[in-house]
């Protein structure tokens, strides 16, 4: 592989007291609602920025997730969270999750444009289609729409959003006090989209944003999810347990992107890793054991039963998974998570108790337990061997696990020339090595306009710069 030196991508996936479900029970963790407070997340973002990480990320669904007895539950709106983090950070990218199934494209495109403005070009949107009936019932539906319908809607949603983000050309604002002309109406465009799921006139309410549009992230690994990512995503978060699976996924996604006429460098693959770090292997293993011992089996089995669509009674702690589980095809939503869990249990012949221990750390993401040197080694190996453009860092305990990663793993990656020592750019696109997309209207006016795939490799400012004399 030909990764550019120093361009390993590191994203910090943030979640209350950490990704291990029992992390909140550790003595040092905030116990109550403080673990969901904006002050807590602002502290985490500052730690990540001190480590020059590329971005922070939040998962989301418009529903109360799971059993509040089990662990810190309750999520602030991700738009509010990202904006509050933008206010206390300078450089780090800010990626939030929002549903294409339960939002309208006009409002959501507007919100991400607004975050891109207030953050100075640091916004990213993890596009999800939101599985499950619980969310559906908050939006007037008895059941979730079908998997294929949700993905079809997501694609049209993105087409509309891309149109809205292009609706103001870069030089639409003039501000000529002498003549009394503030803006150039000829450089603000309706989109007049009429499609299967949406009719949207446009233009957007706000002038073009620093990044042109937010970085598009995707995390579904079903067939539909991979196709959506191949067409639109610029970064993909993915959960795999083995190098082989991750490597195959990496090649598959890059090849699919090429099939859609895209540059494979324009889609970054970031597998998740839950690093359980100790200054010795024994210390790391002791931390992992301490966490697993704090899992309350009753809650964990109930969660597993929901994911597998079986009764908790079918999952005796010291038994194995039922033999007659449904095929992935029969599962509506979270398909890839379902398959990953079933395969993990079967491959390693795990009991239910062992399985919930394994899932308690990273909910299907790969847990890696070891010293900072060993964590750096596995990150480097997967990166060098072409299974990853970077990693989605899922600290099992927050803030301590992120502090340990920043203080002890990041310096090793820097010393090896894999990771930046200071931010070079100011936007998320610059951190990830992604180009600013050309504005379709500006491009159409440019005599030298070239096909889309080549345009994507053009420096962001050139279409505007070449038009500077024709503006206003």
Residue of 102, 162, 165, 232 that binds its own copies (CB under 8 A) = 102
Tell me which residues in 123-162 interact with its own copies (CB under 8 A).
134, 137-141
Nearer to its own copies, 178 or 444 (CB): 178
Q: Are strands 55-58 and 199-200 parallel, antiparallel or unpaired?
A: unpaired
Cα 239 to chain centroid, rounded: 12
* Residue 125 backbone phi and psi in degrees, to 5: -120, 115
CA–CA separation, 325 vs 309, rounded Å? 8
Phi, psi at 39, each rounded to 5°: -60, -40
DSSP-assigned letters across all residues of 367-423: EEEE-HHHHHHHHHHHHHTTS-SEEEE--SSTTHHHHHIIIIIHHHHHHTTSB-SS-
How far CA 125 is from CA of 88, 313, 379, in Å, comes to 20, 39, 25
Using the minimum distance from each CB to its own copies, give the nearer residue, 170 or 224.
170
- Interface with its own copies, residue 103, by CB under 8 A: yes
Q: Please select the residue that binds its own copies; options are 1, 80, 415, 452, rule is CB under 8 A.
A: 80
Could you say which of 59, 67, 377, 458 contacts its own copies (CB under 8 A)? 67
Closer to its own copies by CB, 32 or 451: give it: 32
What length is written for the chain?
472
| Residue 248 Cβ vs its own copies, minimum distance, rounded to whole Å | 36
Tell whether 151 is in a known binding site: yes
Instruction: Find out whether 299 is annotated in a ligand binding site.
Output: no
Give the whole-angstrom CA distance, residue 18 versus residue 41. Answer: 11
Q: Please identify which residue in 18, 51, 72, 145 interacts with its own copies, judged by CB under 8 A.
A: 72
Which listed range, 51-59, 96-104, 346-354, 424-432, lies at the site for its own copies (CB under 8 A)? 96-104
Binding-residue total with its own copies (CB under 8 A): 80
Omega prior to 134 cis, within 30 of 0: no
Backbone angles phi, psi at 427, to 5 degrees: -110, 160
Ligand-binding annotation for 60, yes or no, is yes
CA angle in degrees (0–180, nearest 5) for 344-349-355? 55
Least separation in angstroms between residue 138's CB and its own copies is: 4
Residue 431 CB, shortest distance to its own copies, in Å, is 21
Q: Is 147 annotated as a binding residue?
A: yes
Query: CA 281: distance to chain centroid?
Result: 30
Q: Degrees (nearest 5) of the Cα angle 466, 470, 472?
A: 130
User: What's the rounded Cα separation, in Å, for the pair 94 and 185?
Assistant: 32
Give the up-direction half-sphere exposure of residue 311: CA atoms within 13 A in the CB hemisphere.
2
Nearer to its own copies, 60 or 389 (CB): 60
Name residues contacting its own copies, limited to 15-44 (CB under 8 A): 22, 24-27, 29, 31-33, 36-38
Structure tokens at 213: 């549009």
If one asks whether residue 106 binds its own copies (CB under 8 A), the answer comes out as yes
Of residues 377 through 406, those in contact with its own copies by CB under 8 A are: none
Show the site string, 281-300: x = touches its own copies by CB under 8 A, - = not: -------------x-x--x-
Beta carbon of residue 74, minimum distance to its own copies (angstroms, whole number): 5
On whether 193 is known to bind a ligand per the annotation, the reply is no
Parallel, antiparallel, or unpaired: how do β-strands 215-218 and 123-128 relate?
A: parallel
The verdict on 87 binding its own copies (CB under 8 A) reads yes
- Which residues 6+ apart lie within 8 Å of 245 measured at CB? none
What angle is formed at CA 25 by the lines to CA 20 and CA 30, rounded to 5 degrees?
100
Burial of 424 (0-12, 13-18, 19+ CB in 10 A): exposed
Assess 206 for contact with its own copies (CB under 8 A): yes
Residue 309 CB, nearest distance to its own copies (Å)?
20
Range in contact with its own copies (rule: CB under 8 A) among 3-11, 81-89, 352-360, 378-386:
81-89
3-class state of residue 204 by DSSP? coil
From the list 198, 93, 113, 194, the residue with the least C-alpha distance to 154 is 198
| 118: contact with its own copies by CB under 8 A | yes
- Closer of 140 and 447 to its own copies (Cβ): 140
**What track of x and - describes contact with its own copies for positions 326 through 365 (by CB under 8 A)?**
----------------------------------------
x/- string (CB under 8 A) for its own copies, residues 173-202?
A: xxxxx--xxxxxx--x---------xxxxx
Build a one-symbol-per-residue string for 207-246: x at contacts with its own copies by CB under 8 A, - elsewhere.
x---------------------------------------
Known binding-site positions for FMN: 60, 97, 147, 151, 221-222
Known binding-site positions: 60, 97, 147, 151, 221-222
């Amino acid at each position: 592989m030909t990764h550019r030196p120093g361009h390993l991508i590191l994203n910090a996936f943030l979640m209350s007291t950490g990704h291990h479900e029992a992390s909140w029970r550790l003595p040092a963790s905030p116990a109550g609602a403080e673990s969901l407070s904006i002050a807590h997340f602002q502290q985490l973002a500052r730690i990540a920025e001190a480590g020059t990480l590329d971005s922070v990320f939040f998962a989301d669904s418009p529903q109360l997730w799971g059993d509040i007895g089990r662990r810190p539950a309750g999520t602030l709106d991700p738009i509010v969270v990202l904006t509050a983090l933008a206010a206390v950070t300078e450089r780090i990218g800010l990626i939030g999750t929002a549903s294409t199934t339960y939002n309208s494209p006009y409002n959501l495109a507007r919100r991400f444009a607004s975050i891109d403005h207030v953050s100075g070009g640091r916004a990213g949107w993890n596009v999800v289609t939101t599985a499950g009936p619980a969310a559906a019932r908050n939006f007037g539906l008895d059941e979730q729409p079908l998997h294929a319908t949700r993905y079809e809607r997501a694609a049209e949603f993105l087409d509309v959003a891309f149109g809205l983000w292009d609706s103001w050309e870069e030089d639409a604002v003039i501000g000529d006090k002498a003549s009394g002309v503030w803006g150039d109406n000829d450089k603000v465009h309706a989109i007049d989209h009429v499609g299967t799921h949406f009719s949207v006139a446009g233009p957007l309410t706000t002038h073009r944003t620093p990044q042109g549009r937010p970085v598009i992230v995707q995390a579904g690994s079903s067939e539909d999810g991979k196709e959506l990512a191949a067409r639109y995503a610029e970064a993909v978060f993915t959960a795999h347990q083995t190098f082989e699976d991750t490597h195959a996924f990496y090649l598959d996604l890059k090849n699919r992107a090429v099939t859609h006429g895209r540059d494979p460098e324009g889609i970054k693959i970031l597998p998740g890793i839950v690093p359980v770090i100790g200054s010795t292997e024994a210390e790391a293993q002791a931390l992992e054991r301490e966490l697993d011992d704090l899992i309350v089996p009753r809650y964990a089995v109930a969660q597993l039963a929901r994911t597998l669509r079986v009764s908790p009674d079918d999952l005796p702690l010291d038994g194995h998974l039922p033999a007659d589980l449904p095929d992935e095809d029969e599962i509506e939503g979270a398909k890839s998570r379902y398959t990953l869990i079933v395969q993990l249990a079967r491959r390693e012949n795990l009991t239910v108790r062992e399985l919930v221990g394994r899932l308690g750390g990273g909910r299907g993401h790969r847990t890696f337990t070891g010293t900072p040197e060993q964590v750096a080694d596995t990150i480097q190996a997967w990166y060098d061997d072409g299974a990853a453009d970077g990693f989605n860092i899922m600290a099992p305990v927050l803030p301590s696990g992120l502090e340990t990663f920043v203080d002890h793993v990041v310096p090793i990656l820097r010393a090896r020339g894999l990771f930046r020592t200071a931010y070079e750019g100011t936007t998320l696109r610059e951190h990830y090595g992604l180009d600013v997309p050309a504005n379709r209207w500006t491009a159409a006016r440019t005599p030298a306009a070239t096909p889309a795939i080549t345009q994507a490799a053009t420096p962001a400012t050139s279409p505007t710069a070449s038009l500077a004399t024709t503006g206003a």
